[in-house]
Structures are given as C-alpha cells and as structure tokens.
Amino acid sequence: MEHYNVANPYFGVFVLFVLTFGAFYATTVIARLASRALAAKDTEKIKLTVYECGPEVTKQPNRISTQFYLFALLFLLFDVEIVFMFPWAIDFKLLGWFGFAEMMMFILLLAIGFVYAWKKGALEWHNIK
C-alpha cells in the first residue's frame, strides 16, 4: 500500500472527531427520548440513591489512596522517558553510534532510577518502606 499525498492528512482525524462525538452524543439523546416515551417509569425514590447495600447514603468525598498517586508519578517518570525514546527509535539508523551511545547512557540513568524505586518499595502495592 502506498501513502497518498494530501494537503491536510489530519483532516480525516478532525472529521472523525466531530462525527464520533456527534454520533454517540446523538445516540444518548435518542436513547433518552426513547426511554421517555417507552420506558416503564417508577417514582420510587430509593431508586435514585447510590448503589450500595445497607449503610445510610452519604455524599462521596472522592478521596482515593495515595498509592495511586505514586503510580501516577512513576508513570510520569517512565513515560516521559519513553516519549524521548520514540524520536530516537525512528531515526535510529540515521543517528549512528552517537545516538546509540547517547541512548545507552540515558537508559543507564533510567536503570539507576528504576533500581532505586524498586529497592525503596515504590513498585509495591501498599508496601512503602
């Protein structure tokens, strides 16, 4: 298959963006209208409460364990490194020995950080030293 040359390759992405969001939003609207017309309605008030068993319903404070933030940090660290590595990988054959040595150095530093995070228990689930 060949590439086809157009002035605006991202035009398709834009149209797709508009159409998918439009189509799926329209679907929810249609579903709402259909259910208004057709669905069996029930005025039972408890139906609208939070789906839980037993306890009195209170407002959810939306707090989550700090553990998740730690993984967010790890992600930031390693994914940003990978973003640096993508252009390098694409131009790997052009960059030659210079690029190779540079990236090996980079990965070495990354590895030190990785070993550090491992030893400190940052990669464990609920077990930080």
Partner 1 sequence: MDVAFIIETIAKIVVILLIFSALAGLGTYFERKVLAFMQRRLGPMHVGPYGLLQVAADGIKLFTKEDIVPQNVVKPIFKIAPVITAATAFMASAAIPFWPQFTAFGYTVHPIVADINVGILYVLGIMAIGLYGPLLGGMASANKWSLISAARSAAIFISYEVITGLALLAPLMMVGSLSLIDINNYQAGGITHWIVWSQPVAFVLFWIAAFAETGRTPFHLVANDHEIIDGFGTEYSGMRWGMFFIGEYANMFFISFVISIVFLGGFGDGTIAGAVQLLLKVSFFFFFFLWTRAAWPDIRPDQLMWLCWKVLMPIAVLNVVATGIVMMF
Partner 2 sequence: MLEPIHVALGSLNIATLAPMLIAIVGALSILIIDLAKGGLHKSLYVMIALLFLLLDLGALVDFGGVFLKNGTILGFFDVMLMDGIAILSQIIIVVGSMLFIPLALTSKRFHEYDYPEYFALFMFMIAGFQFMVATDNLIMIFIGLETASLALYTLIALHNRSKSFEAAVKYFTMGALAAGFYAFGSMILYAISGSVEINQIATIMAEDHYRNIGYVLLSMAFMIAAFGFKLSMVPFHTWTPDVYEGSSAALAGYMSIVPKIAAFVVAMRLFEFLVHSGVAWLQVILYIGVVVTMTASNIWALVQSDVKRMLAYSSISHAGFVMAAILIGTTQSNTGLFLYWALFSFTNLGAFTMLWVNRQKNLIAGQSSDHPYEKFSGMVKTMPMAAVMMGLFMLSLAGIPPFGLFWGKMYLIGSAVSSGYTVLALIMALNSAIAGYYYLKLIVFMFMKEPIVGYDQYYFMNASLSLKTIIGIAAVGTIFAVFAVNPLLKVITLFVYNSGY
Sites for partner 2 among residues 98-117 (CB under 8 A): 98-99, 109, 112, 115-116
> Do 126 and 67 form a contact (C-beta atoms < 8 A)?
yes
Give the one residue of 70, 74, 85, 95 binding partner 2; rule: CB under 8 A: 95
Q: Would you say 32 or 119 has its CB closer to partner 2?
A: 119
Binding at 46: pick from partner 1, partner 2, none (beta carbon under 5-8 Å per type): none
Q: Would you say 52 or 124 has its CB closer to partner 2?
A: 124
50-79 binders of partner 1 (CB under 8 A): 50-52, 57, 59-60, 62, 64-65, 68, 71-72, 74-75, 78-79
In this structure, the dihedral spanned by the alpha carbons of residues 8, 12, 15 and 17, taken in order and rounded to 10 degrees, is: -110
Token digits of residue 120: 């400190």
> Binding of partner 2 at residue 25 (CB under 8 A)?
no
Q: What is the DSSP string of 52-121?
A: -SSSPP--------HHHHHHHHHHHHHHHHHHHHHHHHHTHHHHHHHHHHHHHHHHHHHHHHHHHHHHTT
Binding residues vs partner 2 (CB under 8 A): 93-96, 98-99, 109, 112, 115-116, 119
